[in-house]
Structure 1
Amino acid sequence: MKKIISAIIMLTVLAGLQACTSSAIDTVKDGTLVLDSSRTVGQTFDSYKYFSATSWKSFKDNKGREIVEFTGSVDYDKYVGAIYGGVTLSSEIVTKAKKNMENMKMSFIAQFAVKGNRFLLIFSGINVGGVDENGKLHQKKIPDTKMETIEAVYRNVPLELVSVMLLNFCNK
């Protein structure tokens, strides 16, 4: 009987933890930003056509705040046909750039501090990461200080930094 009660308590606690996590994520996904109040954050981020995959998670930061983090993995192949600086990114350019970039991956990250049913965007930017020839992982977060990256996601247009990287790595 004690085992059954313990199992029920454990399942109740786990369900409660899941509800807290889902609630914070749902608050952000169902909310809107001033950039475009006609679409929710979730609709905008999850449908951005230049991502190959998206994910949402929540955690407590070192200040004790509930943080919801969105990550969208950039799909370089979807940049074929994009235009940057008057140059059309052809399949040849993207293929060569991907080869020269080896295992470098780029993703868009947005972090929101959540309190109750309100949230605040606290970080937006690009994460660039890859493993060097010695097997060491390198990552660099490039903040979106002018909000150009998140605005591009909202407009569903290519990210400028990704286009620049593809053109630069094509020429190596």
Structure 2
Amino acid sequence: RPVRHGTHTNSAFALGLLLDSAARAGQPQLLAPVEAKIRAWYLPDHGAATRWEPSGQDFLSPLLCEADAVRRVLPGDEFAAWLGRFLPELNHATGPDFLPPPHVADTADPQLGHLLGLCLSRAAALRGIAAALPPGDPRTAALTTAAEANLAAGLPAAVSGDFTTDHWLATFAALALGSGIAD
């Protein structure tokens, strides 16, 4: 069964990264079983709501990790239809109100600092999801706006000079900036 929380062992996040790395590492035998697991676990899902997120220690968005994994295995039109069923509120989202960055009261608190990573992992997933939609899809604007807002909220923490966050946020910043790690 998939692990669906927003921390280390999130299955969708891991499977998405595995698809990306297997292809780049010349391990094509890994692609079919990983794609099959993504399809089996996530294609039946529907009716997700962003109000379920975040929990107090998330550094991954379970909803966006799932959508970002599914975008890797479905063609554009199929993905667009699935996304409409999976995250129906996105069908009516406009501007910065879709997945606004969480407020982090104490960036030096290791648990609250996870929310800074959430901003960056959201930005990466939102950009990947937006890029996978067919040209002209009206949801792209809300996804892109949300990605930029989350990136702006999280990026300064990646170079804050505080070891509590700096030692791991750089990886999430690289993903969010599209360094080629997982795009």
For the criterion TM > 0.5, the same-fold answer is no
The structure whose residues are more often strand, as a share, is 1
Give the TM-score normalised by the residue count of structure 2.
0.21
Q: Which has the higher contact order (CA 8 A, sep 6+)?
A: 2
Q: TM-score, normalised by structure 1?
A: 0.22
Structure with more of its chain in helix, by fraction: 2
